[in-house]
Amino acid sequence: MNDPTPTLPAPARRSHAGSLLLLLLLAIVLGAGGWYGWQQLQAQQARANADAQQQRDALDSRVEALRQAQRAQAQRLQQAEATNRVLRDEVLGIGQRAALIEDSVSRLADPDRHGAQALRLDQVELLLAIGQQRLQLDGDMDGAQRALALAAPLLDGLDDPAYLNLRQALAQERAALDALGADPRIRAQVLLDSLQTGIDATTDARTRDAASANLPWHQRLLRKFVQVQPSARAGLRDHSDREAAIAALQIETGLARAAIERRDEAGLRRALIHIDGWLQTLLAGAPQLAQKRRIVNELKTAPLRHASPLAGTTLQQLRALRGQ
């Protein structure tokens, strides 16, 4: 009897399931190992980053320390430079003071600046400076001439031939001042006095009476009814108007006199313009008007101070000689 044996695939299934399980376990082991390795790699990278950050922080701190040290060094260099500059200035000041002391000692040892000769030169220079200032500031010719006259004998007392040209220059300057003549203010005052002379409150009435006395009888009769006078004097019929005009003229004359004393040529011209206008009003038609106006024009062109081209040359030459 043939007893058929059935084929059972169970072992094959077990081996296949075992291989799958083994593969699963192997995959789990590989995954765990990979995860562990990745974790270790991340930790290593974190440690490397932390070390690098620490190194960067250390480098930054060292760079900042170097910068602070550099700034401190620059400040010390600036302080040292300022100190050197101060020391250099002090050394230069000491050198200048030493030069001044040496110059003073040399001047004291100079025979030209020692004793009576130096005193005479100082006196001459002072007198010449006074004369020049009197001439420039106030136009005082007399004061300048007196100062030069006092300086001349002092300069003549010097025996040094180096001052021969200086004495000659002083003589020429004195001659130039003497040739200028009197103070121009005196002539201007005289002209102003002559301009004011003959103008008062009674001049016009007396002139009309004297002229009427010499006229024929019929003209004297007509003058009682008709009077002819220049139009410029139309507003001076009353005695009070003429008095006011004469007072205004006197005020302008006083202003002109003050301008002459101050040597103010511009102020004198302004006052003369007003004086000319009042003269034309007061003396319109009078024969002396032309003469008065000529005096006004002469005053307008008259100088109030002398100008000498040689003024101050002696003082300049003396200072140049003493500076040498």
- Cα separation, 310 vs 169, in Å, equals 9
- Residues 319, 224, single domain; the answer is no
Q: Within a domain: residue 33?
A: no
Q: Within a domain: residue 227?
A: yes
Q: What is the CA radius of gyration of the chain?
A: 59
- Residues 100, 160, single domain; the answer is no
pTM as predicted = 0.42
Full residue range of the structural domain in which residue 199 is found: 184-301
Instruction: Mark which of 55, 84, 104 sits at the end of a domain.
Output: 104
- Residues 85, 129, single domain; the answer is no
Domain count along the chain: 3
- Residues 164, 264, single domain; the answer is no
Q: Outline where the chain has alpha helix (H).
A: 10-109, 116-137, 141-156, 164-179, 184-196, 203-213, 217-223, 239-262, 265-282, 289-301, 313-323
Q: Within a domain: residue 145?
A: yes
Q: Within a domain: residue 46?
A: no
Q: Within a domain: residue 63?
A: no
Q: Within a domain: residue 34?
A: no
User: Tokens for 200?
Assistant: 């008062």
pLDDT at 215 over 70: no
- Cα separation, 165 vs 154, in Å, equals 15
Q: What is the pLDDT of residues 143-197, one digit of tens each?
A: 788 888 888 888 887 777 777 888 888 888 888 777 776 677 788 888 888 887 7
Q: What is the pLDDT of residues 43-59, one digit of tens each?
A: 888 888 888 888 888 88
Is the separation of the CB atoms in 306 and 168 below 8 Å? no
pLDDT at 228: 47
pLDDT at 2 over 70: no
